[in-house]
Amino acid sequence: QVRLVESGGGLVQPGGSLRLSCAASGSRFSIYTMGWYRQAPGKQRDLVARISGGGTTDYADSVKGRFTISRDNAKSTVYLEMNSLRPEDTAVYYCNSVPRFMDWGQGTEVTVSS
């Protein structure tokens, strides 16, 4: 069973940047398409970015041009670089496979506020 551990969240002002990390345990990480999901208070959890094992990326329209997903298969880690952050980006961010079949990690909280 793969275990996911997200980190890197925090409080940032509008226009600021953060880099999230997600470390996965277990083998065969490199074959999975991985994604970053987020859940704002009172809303459903949505996929915002994904990356295939070979590095092909795709983004939700709401983050396109501002967020960049990447991965290091040797470290079994996926990253989310977030720039030009907006208050509406405030959420708990989770990583998981796409489609999701792994257990959820604890997530990392991102708050964008002045």
Q: N- to C-terminal Cα distance for the chain?
A: 40
3-state secondary structure of 10: strand
Tokens at 114, concatenated: 């002045």
What per-residue confidence (pLDDT) applies to 45? 97
pLDDT (average), residues 100-106:
94
* Buried b or exposed e, range 27-51, using 16+ CB within 10 angstroms: eebeebebbbbbeeeeeebebbbbb
pLDDT (average), residues 67-90:
97
pLDDT digits (tens, 9 = 90+) for 6-40: 999 999 999 999 999 999 997 788 889 999 999 99
Residue scoring higher pLDDT (76 or 1) = 76
